[in-house]
Amino acid sequence: MASEEKSLHFIEQIIEDSIATGFPQNKLRFRFPPEPNGYLHIGHAKSICLNFGLGLKYNAPVNLRFDDTNPAKEEQEYVDAIKEDLQWLGFKWAEERYASDYFQQLYDWAVDMIKKGKAYVDSQSSEEMAAQKGTPSQAGTNSPYRNRSIEENLALFEGMKKGDFKEGTHVLRAKIDMASSNMLMRDPLMYRILHRHHHRTANDWCIYPMYDFAHGESDYIEQISHSICTLEFVMHRELYDWFLDQIYDESTVRPHQYEFARLNLNYTVMSKRKLLQLVQDKVVNGWDDPRMPTISGLRRRGYTAAAIRKFCETIGVAKRENIINISLLDFCLREDLNKTAARVMAVLDPVKLTISNYPDGEVEWLDAENNQEDESAGFRKVPFSKTIWIEREDFLEEASAKFFRLTIGKEVRLKNAYLIKGESVIKDENGQIIEIIASYDADSKSGSGTEASKRKVSGTLHWVSAEHAIETEVRLYDRLFLDEAPDSHTEKSFLDFINPNSLQITKGYVEPSLKEVQPGDQFQFQRLGYFIVDKDTTASKIVFNKTVGLKDSWDEKGKSEENSLNNALKDINKYFKVNTREERIAIRKNIGATIAGISNYSLLQNSFKKNINNNKSSLLFAQLLIKYAFLQFSDYNKEDIMKLFSMSLKSESTFVRSRALLNLAILDNAAFLVALQPELENLQNNPPKSTSERETEFLENLMNKF
């Protein structure tokens, strides 16, 4: 029992406590409430798995409710896409509901609140309302329309409903407390005028309820017991409860709101607004572009529903925000595809290889295992002939002993086939290899049991018979963003971090067993990665999308860069211990080369900020980051860089001060120099005992610029 309790996440524990204190389990009811203003993304998948998972665990109904209260942004296309995504993920909803189903009831409740003096029509502009709302530390002031009579409010609200007024002329506000410490409680908006066509109610309404009013009341109408939201709605809970207080009947279930941490993934943006911008600016080819984090994009890329569900289960449900490494999602995917995807051979960067001693015109059909992880998958036949395609990178005319693939005079195995040895090459007029000549050992056939077949070689290559190969289009997808936190930098747009190589299209060759593939079929191209047949495939053209590689090159690169930077920071301590200028120059150049090789913007920024402290090694390292990193001066936060130079110019070390002065000369930013003028003058007038001749020279050169 104890281990079972430990396995419960905090929302499950809340539900267990509700049941233990008398809440009837048959009254449990949950909902997934998307706004149909965009496609669902991987962050929504976490909420979907949570809500529908609770439904399955407690045998409770889960509604799919579209919070469609803003016709300016909502479309039927999004409704249809959301339903398709949910079904693909493997979940079934109890009832399909819409907030628009409740427009009349919500309006009636609003009228009742006006009659009770709990709501009023405000005729201020949005700017005036924002000004009178106050600040977190200063109470707001009452609207001049707050004390309108009930009769006037009812008449105005009725006129708003009929369409008598233009957008922005009036709003309905709840009358709560303009001095509340929670600014959301300072007479929040309940209704606004929108003369827009609604995807379900057409032009029946000219006023639409605000989310905070409609959401909780919709939960109440549906008798939702546990309304689960993400953490940004914590401050909204007080308002959620206040609106329920106005309508709650003790004979019914009262919904309660609970918040959990949303999913934050590195190398990704989750904002619907930013995803829409990617689509509208044609950075990607639609919402289902395989580089998008949308569920439809992930599906088209080849991510499986099982992998996404496993990912959501693995990251769990927590109260605290954190950033999940997208490599974990890819790990879950590889685990799933490793069990289910058939192995086939494909060559994506082909070079012709001719086996000189293989009989002309002969074709052998060899046995190839479909999936070594699944005994029931069986075998298939692949053709072998005199001329085959291999990957260009699998051959070097001259290679070191550490090159374990084909080269002149070296023997390797062709997967499921024979041992071959490189003999010679044929080149075009530009020196490019266009054909490799090799010989084969006829007694070395895989699985034949001969002594030759058991001979150990250093490498095994995949290949495709040139005579039988099917030419295909292969779309090699990679991460859309180069930075691990593309939308977290105030000095940069997330679009600045678009990966220019996120899509590369090539022509490849696949074995003939793939002739009849259908969109959605998934395979492991041996030694290359996992691929899926794209929906653009036709009878005359097969299109494959790369889903994910066999290894996580991004994670390896990220760890390598982080380790390199950490080692460089350690090396800087040597700078202060060596005795000669030549030794210091050598250390600085080595550190500079390491920094220059780092391409991770966030890693550099974080390292820069972390090293702005009074430690001389840290200050020098931060100054070297400015000199050698690919970042521009404008990429740095102004306060951070001012703090760094101010501290560096006051450092006890002449090496730190000198590097700061050199960097100032290189930056050559007049405004920045003026801001630092007091520190520079103080350094000139009160030079520390450790001041060197070089430092004095650097300082004089700078001061001459004033």
Query: What are the tens digits of pLDDT across the range 257-271?
Result: 999 999 999 999 999
Looking at the predicted structure, is the pLDDT value of residue 103 above 90? yes
| Token reading at 341 | 């995807």
Q: Which CA distances in Å does 518 have to 546, 597, 640?
A: 15, 43, 55
Q: What is the DSSP letter of 375?
A: G
Does the annotation count 339 as an active-site position? no
Lowest mean pLDDT among 127-136, 142-151, 683-692: 683-692
Query: Distance between CA 293 and CA 300 in Å, rounded?
Result: 11
**For the residues 560-565, what does the mean pLDDT come to?**
92
Q: What are phi and psi of 543, to 5 degrees?
A: -120, 125
Does the annotation count 473 as an active-site position? no
Looking at the predicted structure, is the pLDDT value of residue 703 above 90? no
Query: By three-state DSSP, how is residue 338 classified?
Result: helix
Looking at the predicted structure, is the pLDDT value of residue 292 above 90? yes
pLDDT digits 0-9 by tens, 465-492: 999 999 999 999 999 999 999 999 988 9
Summarize the annotated binding site for L-glutamine as residue ranges. 67, 211
| Token reading at 17 | 């406590």
The helix (H) or strand (E) run that includes residue 694 is helix 693-703
Helix, strand, coil distribution of the chain in percent, nearest 5: 40, 20, 40
Buried b (16+ CB within 10 A) or exposed e, 668-694: eeeebbeebeebbeebeeeeeeebeee
Query: Per-residue confidence at 3, pLDDT binned at 50, 70, 90?
Result: very low
Instruction: Write the DSSP assignment of 436-454 as a string of letters.
Output: EEEEE-TT--TTS--TGGG
Query: Per-residue confidence at 634, pLDDT binned at 50, 70, 90?
Result: confident
Query: Distance between CA 208 and CA 210 in Å, rounded?
Result: 7
pLDDT digits 0-9 by tens, 602-624: 999 999 999 999 999 999 999 99
**For the residues 420-437, what does the mean pLDDT come to?**
96
pLDDT (0 to 100) of residue 6: 55
Query: Per-residue confidence at 671, pLDDT binned at 50, 70, 90?
Result: confident
pLDDT (0 to 100) of residue 556: 85
**What is the total residue count of the chain?**
706
Q: Which residues pair with 265 in a beta bridge?
A: 324
Q: Hey, how many other C-beta atoms are within 10 angstroms of the C-beta on 245?
A: 10
Looking at the predicted structure, is the pLDDT value of residue 199 above 90? yes
- The answer to whether 464 and 389 have CB atoms below 8 angstroms apart is yes
Catalytic residue among 73, 83, 133, 262: 262
**For the residues 448-457, what does the mean pLDDT come to?**
94
pLDDT (0 to 100) of residue 447: 92
Lowest mean pLDDT among 63-77, 456-470, 675-689: 675-689
**For the residues 437-463, what does the mean pLDDT come to?**
95
Residue 547: burial class (beta carbons within 10 Å; 0-12, 13-18, 19+): buried
Query: Distance between CA 307 and CA 330 in Å, rounded?
Result: 8
The helix (H) or strand (E) run that includes residue 421 is strand 419-427
Instruction: Supply angle C-alpha 15, 20, 26, rounded to 5.
Output: 65
What is the CA 61 to chain-centroid distance, rounded?
31
Query: Distance between CA 436 and CA 407 in Å, rounded?
Result: 10
- The answer to whether 229 and 215 have CB atoms below 8 angstroms apart is no
Cα dihedral: 613, 614, 617, 621 (round 10): 40
* Alpha-helical segments (H) within 165-236: 211-221
Query: Distance between CA 369 and CA 373 in Å, rounded?
Result: 10
Query: By three-state DSSP, how is residue 586 classified?
Result: helix
- Parallel, antiparallel, or unpaired: how do β-strands 207-209 and 226-230 relate? unpaired
Query: Distance between CA 301 and CA 299 in Å, rounded?
Result: 5
Least Cα distance to 176 among 241, 128, 127, 131 occurs for 241
Catalytic residue among 173, 192, 272, 309: 272
The mean pLDDT value of the chain amounts to 95
Query: Per-residue confidence at 669, pLDDT binned at 50, 70, 90?
Result: confident
Summarize the annotated binding site for ATP as residue ranges. 35-37, 41-47, 230, 262-263, 270-272
Q: What is the DSSP letter of 322?
A: -
pLDDT digits 0-9 by tens, 361-387: 999 999 999 998 888 889 999 999 999
Least Cα distance to 264 among 62, 486, 577 occurs for 486
Look up tokens 């090694």; give the residue.
617
Catalytic residue among 31, 35, 386, 659: 35
Query: Per-residue confidence at 1, pLDDT binned at 50, 70, 90?
Result: very low
Looking at the predicted structure, is the pLDDT value of residue 142 above 60? yes
**For the residues 64-71, what does the mean pLDDT come to?**
98
Looking at the predicted structure, is the pLDDT value of residue 2 above 60? no
- Parallel, antiparallel, or unpaired: how do β-strands 522-525 and 342-344 relate? parallel
| Token reading at 330 | 């890819």
pLDDT digits 0-9 by tens, 81-98: 999 999 999 999 999 999
Q: Hey, how many other C-beta atoms are within 10 angstroms of the C-beta on 615?
A: 13
Does the annotation count 262 as an active-site position? yes
Hey, what amino acid is at 609? K
Looking at the predicted structure, is the pLDDT value of residue 4 above 80? no
Query: Distance between CA 103 and CA 33 in Å, rounded?
Result: 16
Provide the whole-model pTM. 0.90
Query: Distance between CA 345 and CA 352 in Å, rounded?
Result: 15
Looking at the predicted structure, is the pLDDT value of residue 178 above 50? yes
Provide, rounded to the nearest whole percent, the portion of the chain with pLDDT above 70.
99
* Alpha-helical segments (H) within 116-236: 126-132, 150-162, 211-221
**For the residues 333-352, what does the mean pLDDT come to?**
97
| Token reading at 604 | 């550099």
Greatest alpha-carbon pair distance for the chain in Å reads 101
Query: Distance between CA 569 and CA 479 in Å, rounded?
Result: 29
pLDDT (0 to 100) of residue 491: 84
Query: Per-residue confidence at 702, pLDDT binned at 50, 70, 90?
Result: confident
